[in-house]
Amino acid sequence: MVKKLTNREKALKDLVPEKELPFSKAEYASRLKRIRAEMRREGMDVLYLSSPESMYYACGYRAVWYQAQSPKNWLPMSGVAVHADHDKLLMLDTEEELVMIKCTTIADDIRVFSDDLPMNMVDWTVSELSEEGWLPGTIGLEMWSYRPNRAVSEAFQRALERRGCRIVDASDILRKTRSVKSPRELSYVRRAAKVADLGMTAAMDKMRPGVTELQVYGEMVKAMAEAGGENPAITMPVASGRKSACAHALASTKKLRKGEIVNIDVCGVVNRYHADMARTFSIGRPDPEVAEVVRLSGGAFNLLRRTLRPNASVHEIMDSLKAYYKEVGIVDDRWWFGGYELGASFPPDWVGPWAYDAYTDQRGRRFVPGTVVNYESNFYLPKRAGLSLLINTLIFDTSKAQVMGRLPNELIVV
């Protein structure tokens, strides 16, 4: 008698779904080659990638849930294992994610954990690596990732050490590899910048007295989604009135009022690549002194457009910006001016691993071709009006540097 398959078995058996790959297999192969070269330079045998960004970069893995605050028996252990001497990677995950893995990744060697196994996922992962012949050795873990959490990460390390492994922090390998974007990656950032423009315009069109911050937020999200924009890695702030003095306040049911300042920070997202943009608005005619400070803050982007170029010295650019703010008399009212790396990101954070400003040592650092960062020109306003929040994304390729963002870098009156 032929065994009748359950619906669960039918869903998983020999499934070949349509692939959703944002990059060619050749580009993924090139990434793996660079990762392995960095591993060899660091004397590392195996690298276990657990951060969402690293898993995505290595093979395309992308999900809506990464067990960030899960029950103790649902361990956040899925990951991608890379060996310095083998031209392949291992994808290790739970049975529930098998369909997604086949849809979104290039992984051919997929190892699936089942709750029916007489061990937890930590021990199973170590067992799979050992049976592959990849243990013992020097094993790199992404210790600067929130995932897995401390309890699980320490259990993973102990289990590897019991197999005779030496554990090292490998966080910088993928951070370094990901920092220089390919032409295809840069094209996604440019598309994301156009999505951000649409979102900000939609928010501006929605703003008027009596409308809530959440209604503005919803209109912005709708416009970006209709243009193919994805969910950003941070919930985008819409902050009005007294809340506008804080750059990280959540949108709420607070209603906009005439005369208030409204700050909006939006990221357009295409294939997980982010382009950041923020603008400061006034509901009705603003105080002239307030408008002037925002204008002076926005003048920094005119300076950037004149001076930015591929391989520009970060130190020199920041010195010139600091001198500009000092000359126009607002440097002492800074909230922050500087920026950070942007790229492929997942919740809960789009802030990349490298940040820069005029008050930290940037000597020797350059905006090399392939770099994507934002620049923030954020200053406290007079008369306790709030904060000027002006942000644009900077893209450096081999021939030029671009300051993205269509809307003017000044106080926008609605």
Confidence at residue 363, expressed as pLDDT on a 0 to 100 scale: 82
Q: What is the CA radius of gyration of the chain?
A: 24
Strands 46-49 and 79-83: antiparallel
Mean pLDDT of 197-211: 98
Mean pLDDT of 374-388: 97
Confidence at residue 270, expressed as pLDDT on a 0 to 100 scale: 98
Confidence at residue 19, expressed as pLDDT on a 0 to 100 scale: 87
CA angle 284/287/289 to nearest 5° reads: 145
Q: Does position 413 have pLDDT exceeding 90, yes or no?
A: yes
Q: Give the dihedral sign, CA 111/116/121/127.
A: negative
Confidence at residue 13, expressed as pLDDT on a 0 to 100 scale: 62
CATH class label, 180-413: alpha beta
Model pLDDT for residues 181-199, shown as the tens digit of each residue: 999 999 999 999 999 999 9
Model pLDDT for residues 143-156, shown as the tens digit of each residue: 999 999 999 999 99
What's the half-sphere exposure (Cβ side, CA atoms, 13 Å) at 111? 20
User: Confidence class of residue 4 from pLDDT cuts 50, 70 and 90?
Assistant: low
Confidence at residue 14, expressed as pLDDT on a 0 to 100 scale: 61
Domain with CATH 3.40.350.10 in the chain: 7-178
Mean pLDDT of 364-384: 97
* DSSP one-letter code for 384: G
Q: Does position 115 have pLDDT exceeding 90, yes or no?
A: no
Q: Give the dihedral sign, CA 110/113/119/122.
A: positive
User: Confidence class of residue 202 from pLDDT cuts 50, 70 and 90?
Assistant: very high
Confidence at residue 8, expressed as pLDDT on a 0 to 100 scale: 65
Query: Exposed/middle/buried for 168, CB within 10 Å: 0-12, 13-18, 19+?
Result: middle
Q: Does position 80 have pLDDT exceeding 70, yes or no?
A: yes
Model pLDDT for residues 171-182, shown as the tens digit of each residue: 999 999 999 999
**C-alpha span between 103 and 209 (Å, rounded):** 45
The two structure tokens encoding residue 322: 């600091």
Confidence at residue 139, expressed as pLDDT on a 0 to 100 scale: 98
- Whole-Å CA distances, 190 to 271, 310, 353, 390: 12, 17, 20, 19
User: Confidence class of residue 16 from pLDDT cuts 50, 70 and 90?
Assistant: low
Is 357 within 8 Å of 368 (Cβ atoms)? Answer: no
Mean pLDDT of 328-346: 98
Model pLDDT for residues 50-64, shown as the tens digit of each residue: 999 999 999 999 999
Mean pLDDT of 316-330: 98
Mean pLDDT of 206-228: 98
Domain with CATH 3.90.230.10 in the chain: 180-413
Query: How much of the chain, in percent, has pLDDT values that exceed 70?
Result: 96
Q: Does position 165 have pLDDT exceeding 60, yes or no?
A: yes
Confidence at residue 11, expressed as pLDDT on a 0 to 100 scale: 62
The two structure tokens encoding residue 345: 């990101």
User: Confidence class of residue 245 from pLDDT cuts 50, 70 and 90?
Assistant: very high
Instruction: Tell me yes or no: is domain 7-178 CATH 3.40.50.300.
Output: no
